[in-house]
Amino acid sequence: MATNKNDQFKSPQQEPLLIVISGPSGVGKDTVIHVMKERALPFHFVVTATTRPPRPDEVNGRDYFFLSKDEFAEMINKGELLEYAIVYNDFKGIPKEQVRQALASGRDVVMRVDVQGATTIRNLCPDALLIFLITRNEDELARRLKARKTEDTEGLNLRIATARQELKHLDIFDYVVTNQENHLEDTVDTIQAIILAEHHRVHQRKVTL
């Protein structure tokens, strides 16, 4: 059978990406994703389920699914979570069906998880795109945590100590992006550039869940 010469110049079909935004508590994961949403980027943003109470500016179903521990346990028992973990005495998890439906539609999927969750995603899906956010230094991270006014001194020290441990697991990630203070737009620009570059790879990532 003859081959149409024009077929040789067709761009390969782009595979949807499973994009994980991770990093220490206070690094700005939620803020980065908020800016990505404001830019109306063509992604499906996964809404995480959690048992922690909502903060004053958070909305159920938009920022998180706020569940009781019994409701969360039921999701675990039914196998409805892609991954879940205990984070500072509360459960967090990613609803499995939400991710599968988005990928099936051909859209990139963006989720925020802690480093423990990112490790689980890497094991479940080796071709996931994992991005780790950091601050310029530990002092900057501490300032951000203090500014949130959501932790007492003991809680603040715990989060800093946890961040030090999380930095030891950078080898599971594909990229590290510094979310520098007062340069939020630059951070999002960098993440967008990474995603664009990934879609131009000769050997595309193939996500299977």
Q: Which of 62, 136, 143, 148 is catalytic?
A: 148
Q: Which of 112, 144, 159, 205 is catalytic?
A: 159
3-state DSSP assignment of residue 68:
coil
Q: How far apart are CA 182 and CA 48, in angstroms?
A: 26
Backbone angles phi, psi at 65, to 5 degrees: -95, 110
Phi-psi region of 6 (alpha: psi -120 to 50; beta: other; left: phi over 0): alpha
Is-contact 145 160, C-beta < 8 A?
A: yes
Q: Which of 55, 136, 164, 201 is catalytic?
A: 55
Dihedral Cα 69, 72, 74, 79, nearest 10 deg: -150
DSSP string, 168-195: GGGGG-SEEEE--TT-HHHHHHHHHHHH
Q: How far apart are CA 141 and CA 135, in angstroms?
A: 6
| Residue 148 known to be catalytic | yes
Active site residues: 55, 148, 159
